[in-house]
Structure 1
Amino acid sequence: MCIFTCVTGDGIVAGFVLKRLQMPSSVGQKTLRFALILLFLQTHAVEAAIADGNDRLPVGYIEQPVALVAQSPGAVFTEPDRVMVKEPLLKALIQLNDTLSPYQLDASSQVPISFQDVLKAALANNLPLKMSRSSVESKHWQFRGALAQFLPDISTGINAQEIRGNFASPFGIVAPINSPFVTVPNTFNMYFFRGGSILYGALRRRHEWKAAQYELKGTTNDVLYQAAKLYWQLALNDVLLQVRISALEKAQAAYELNKGRNEHGFGTKLDVLQAQSEVSRYRQNLIVQQVIRRQAAVDLATALNLDPSVDYFLKDRLVASTRLVDANLNVNKLVDIAIDNRPELKQYEYLRLAAKDAIKVARAPLLPKIVGSAGVITTGADVFRNSTLSQSAAPASSFTIGPNGVPILAPIAVNTSGSRSFRMTENYFLGISLVWALNNMGLSDIAAVKSAKWDAIKAADAYRLQLTKVYQEVRNAYLECLKSANLLIETTNAINSGSEQMDVATKRLEEGLGNELDLLTAQDAYTAALIDKARAILEFNMAEAALLRATGRISIETLTSSIPIKS
């Protein structure tokens, strides 16, 4: 407990009790100083009221505004390289809806989450990452299917027919047919050469599979960076929420002070209206910040494919600026690291190779094909068994005249005894063939070759475009890190300057040279400095993560390591 005693001009002692500030030293000192200023002003208000014969002041007139500042639940402690993210009290927030929590808003529950939890959840649950993994598996099986083209084609089947009637030969002879007929072909075809489409088709699929693997790595890098960025944005909005709370409480305390002064005749209505306007402005800022913080939690949950009805908040309350890339690495060295590690470059290189293979595949129909074949063809029909066949050349008398004057050939083999039965026989064949066929006189295939060549040129240009993007991203990320590192220093200077402004405003007010407006202006400057400092710390972390991604070295290990990468 801290007891402050002020002596009025009439020798009347006014004692006031403030609870000890439960906050780190720097912000606690600033808040305490502001509370003491309000106490000083109200002491003079007591003196003036007594001088006017009014010795009955409202209960809590002095204690209430001072307590509003001294017990600030949204106060933020900022050091040169870290910020303490305190969980705000619900009573310090503005109730946006009677049925909703002012902090969770539309969320049904709260779950704490750490930076490492966010990164692990991103790798496990992110939907674009799952889609990229599926693409890799698809390309993998396409490659295996292309390898299967080296294997021979095997076919088998059965063809059963019932043939009844007469067969008219080109010689004008009609032969009677009355027998079931079965054919069972079993063939084996091996393509020894198909214009290179098998070999280069397999190489093309392999290069596409490799490109998909590096695309997955690139997607993983993007997902990790996006998850880290959303986490830092949630932390930033938590910090800004507490800064807005603290600013509103100080504005509310100033408003209560001016209102009391005006009610007792030694203030002006203008002072009250100005203070009320400040309170309204800070309330608007707080309302906006409450919604933005919740939106940041929703964005994080959506990126992690988690339940957006759960409000995720920071488990690690101390957020510090962390250097992830060695500051001594110059930009040229960083570009070299990116060329060696960026998966996008390897992805587009394999796509370029696949496009070159596609030219050879398109040229294959213009070349001959060599096919080896082997097989067994089994046939079956009703034949005479256990019979004596008398065979002889057909005499002239063997021709008879059938219906419509068509000659009918008498059978050469005549069954003299026995019965008919179904019999199967096998025929074996082995061969090789060379086929050279040009569809549409080869013009359509020539057009396909030309198209494939232009696709290869496009793939090469895409690689060069990606290379220029890598250069751009590395340099932009490097410059962003330079800016953020220097803003850390400058925002610290701004906080010191804001503190000095408050000291000067305090002294001027004590000596009667200043007014409450000067003090509020100084408080605005100090609040803005706190916001800029918190933003600088968290944007520094975002810039470092962006530089890690730009160099292709981003991972859970590098994002959470306390040792910056050096190569």
Structure 2
Amino acid sequence: MSKLFIYSICFVFLTINLNAKSLSLEELIEIALENNTNIQLSKNQKDVSEQRLRQSQASYLPYVTSSANTGEYDIKQSGVKQDGNATSVSVNANQLIYDFGKTTTAIKASKYNVEASQEDVTSIEKQIILAVKKAYFDILNRHQQIVVAKEAVKLDELQLSQAKEYFKAGIRTQIDITNAQLQLSNSNLKLIQANYDLKKAKTNLISILGKAISEDLKIQLDEEDIKLLAQNAELKYKNVEELIDIAIKNRAEMKKYESLIKANKESVKNANYQYLPTIDVSASYNEKDSDDISTLDSNQTAVLLNIKWDIFTGFSRDANKKIALSNLSSSYKQKEQQELAIIEAVTNAHLNTKQSFESIKISLLSLNLATKNLDLASQRYQAGLNDLLELNDAKLQYTQAKSNLVNTYYSHLVNNANLEYTLGLIK
């Protein structure tokens, strides 16, 4: 059985499993962290920085080269001609002894760059977690909107049934039936739109997950009524100054720039050390042998202590030093800019959570009032004290109030997730 066939069976099995069960938010995040392409790309960049660290560390190890050749020689000297075959073998080794910190600083700079790359990976992972949470809450929102739309359809069906009964009894006119049919048609249209909005929300989540999952993807839904969910909403964070301190300490972006500053400081040192000599030891062994030409036979061994000092390099060292200083200055400025961006993001996220939390209270009140208003309008319509227009207005206000509560509640969950992201605490 071929490996391709086995992989295909495993993929189909995994896909069936994903679509067969309702996935929790934690499971969705796990899938995204394993499969999202942006995370994979950031990990590839981290691998590159790790290999560059290995390259810099290799300078401490000896360099060994060897070569061998064979050929035919034709030598004419003082009127005497000799020809024949000859072979030669050579082995050369070089070991760094001391370079006044050039290699050491290069290794340190590479290590700090690896740390910065790891913070990049962490930053991307947290962005993906936030994106998954937003998409997940959007799907929950769409499900609740479908519930609201179905309730509106039921209300309109009941209204149409009542209008027909009242018409038969001679209490109401044909226009009430026509109006009720129109309202039911509009509610059915909104239900269709709500179902397609749910499909679009699932498509968005699947693209974030980075895995080929059908749009029949099932997720764990909120079983409780939206009113109970909204009543249990919380405001977790209150002091914005404390939040800013938490964000500065925890955000991966800040840690990244701290590592880059350290790396660039080492690069500046390295640029200064380029003005100093390098000391190494080299050893070589060369052997040449010929059965036909005795003068070619040789055997040579050498061990040398070398000092290399570049006196003039065409101002390249000056240029490298200026580049290193500019990179260091840029790192400081980028860190300052990042800190300002974090302060702004935390402040806005904190305000958004407070606004959405207070909006939930108002939305709950509006829904309670709209529910009472609908009950009163229904009773008045049944008693013949008002027309269908008043009842339609009351029903519209009720469905809008409930839809607004759904949007406000899930917006609050998104705002909480966004605040946790700006603090560097999202997981």
Match of 1:429 in 2: 302
The question of whether the paired residues in 1 share the 8 Å contact of 2:99 and 2:278 is answered with: yes
Secondary structure at the aligned position of 2:213 is classed as coil
Tell me by how many angstroms 1:181 deviates: 3.8
Match of 1:478 among 350, 353, 361: 350
Partners of 1:127 and 1:501 in 2: how far apart?
A: 51
Partners of 1:438 and 1:276 in 2: how far apart?
A: 94
Alignment of 1:443-458 (within 5 A): 443-458=315-330
- 1:348-406, Cα deviation, whole Å (9 max, x unpaired): 211222233334445565544333212222232347xxxxxxxxxxxxxxxxxxxxxxx
Which has the bigger relative contact order, CA under 8 A and spacing at least 6?
Answer: 2
Match of 1:358 among 258, 267, 276: 267
Match of 2:96 in 1: 191
Q: What amino acid is aligned across from residue 250 of structure 1 in structure 2?
A: L
Gaps of 5+ in 1: 1-107, 168-172, 384-419, 556-567
Match of 1:165 in 2: 75
Match of 1:341 in 2: 250
RMSD of the alignment, in Å? 3.0
Partners of 2:115 and 2:384 in 1: how far apart?
A: 77
Match of 1:200 in 2: 105
Partners of 2:218 and 2:389 in 1: how far apart?
A: 37
Match of 2:48 in 1: 138
Match of 1:375 among 260, 263, 284: 284
Tell me by how many angstroms 1:510 deviates: 4.9
Partners of 2:164 and 2:215 in 1: how far apart?
A: 42
Partners of 1:115 and 1:199 in 2: how far apart?
A: 46
Tell me by how many angstroms 1:308 deviates: 3.4
The question of whether the paired residues in 1 share the 8 Å contact of 2:25 and 2:136 is answered with: yes
Q: Say yes or no: does 1:150 pair with 2:23.
A: no
Secondary structure at the aligned position of 1:123 is classed as helix
Tell me by how many angstroms 1:486 deviates: 1.1
TM-score of the superposed pair, with normalisation by structure 1: 0.65
Q: What amino acid is aligned across from residue 506 of structure 1 in structure 2?
A: S
Q: What amino acid is aligned across from residue 492 of structure 1 in structure 2?
A: L
The question of whether the paired residues in 1 share the 8 Å contact of 2:148 and 2:399 is answered with: yes
Q: Say yes or no: does 1:469 pair with 2:341.
A: yes
Secondary structure at the aligned position of 1:312 is classed as coil
Partners of 1:225 and 1:285 in 2: how far apart?
A: 29
Tell me by how many angstroms 1:330 deviates: 0.9
Q: Say yes or no: does 1:227 pair with 2:132.
A: yes
The question of whether the paired residues in 2 share the 8 Å contact of 1:298 and 1:311 is answered with: no
Q: Say yes or no: does 1:116 pair with 2:26.
A: yes
Larger proportion of helix = 2
Q: What amino acid is aligned across from residue 297 of structure 1 in structure 2?
A: K
- 1:478-500, Cα deviation, whole Å (9 max, x unpaired): 11211121122111101111022
The question of whether the paired residues in 2 share the 8 Å contact of 1:324 and 1:545 is answered with: no
Alignment of 1:36-435 (within 5 A): 111-167=21-77, 176-194=81-99, 196-258=101-163, 267-268=172-173, 270-318=175-223, 320=229, 326-327=236-237, 329-362=238-271, 366-382=275-291, 425-435=298-308
Partners of 1:500 and 1:324 in 2: how far apart?
A: 26
Larger proportion of strand = 1
Deviates more, 1:333-342 or 1:350-359: 350-359
Secondary structure at the aligned position of 1:553 is classed as coil
Match of 2:387 in 1: 515
Secondary structure at the aligned position of 1:201 is classed as helix
Partners of 2:65 and 2:234 in 1: how far apart?
A: 62
The question of whether the paired residues in 1 share the 8 Å contact of 2:235 and 2:357 is answered with: no
Greater CA radius of gyration, 1 or 2?
1
- 1:233-290, Cα deviation, whole Å (9 max, x unpaired): 1111000011112112322433454466567765445444443443333233222111
Partners of 1:354 and 1:214 in 2: how far apart?
A: 14
Partners of 2:393 and 2:87 in 1: how far apart?
A: 104
Tell me by how many angstroms 1:522 deviates: 0.9
The number of aligned residues is 405
Q: What amino acid is aligned across from residue 419 of structure 2 in structure 1?
A: L
Q: What amino acid is aligned across from residue 59 of structure 2 in structure 1?
A: Q
Secondary structure at the aligned position of 2:386 is classed as coil
Identity rate of aligned residues, in percent?
22
Partners of 1:345 and 1:422 in 2: how far apart?
A: 69
Partners of 1:471 and 1:362 in 2: how far apart?
A: 35
Q: Say yes or no: does 1:524 pair with 2:391.
A: no
Q: What amino acid is aligned across from residue 524 of structure 1 in structure 2?
A: L
Match of 1:79 in 2: none
The question of whether the paired residues in 2 share the 8 Å contact of 1:143 and 1:202 is answered with: yes
The question of whether the paired residues in 1 share the 8 Å contact of 2:234 and 2:357 is answered with: no
Q: What amino acid is aligned across from residue 198 of structure 1 in structure 2?
A: T
- 1:153-180, Cα deviation, whole Å (9 max, x unpaired): 111112334321324xxxxx66644354
Tell me by how many angstroms 1:196 deviates: 4.3
Gaps of 5+ in 2: 1-17
Change (3 A) 1:258 1:422: farther
Secondary structure at the aligned position of 2:315 is classed as helix
Deviates more, 1:522-531 or 1:499-508: 499-508
Secondary structure at the aligned position of 1:318 is classed as coil
Secondary structure at the aligned position of 1:460 is classed as helix
Secondary structure at the aligned position of 2:425 is classed as coil
The question of whether the paired residues in 1 share the 8 Å contact of 2:199 and 2:215 is answered with: no
Q: Say yes or no: does 1:545 pair with 2:404.
A: no
The question of whether the paired residues in 1 share the 8 Å contact of 2:235 and 2:353 is answered with: no
Q: What amino acid is aligned across from residue 116 of structure 1 in structure 2?
A: E
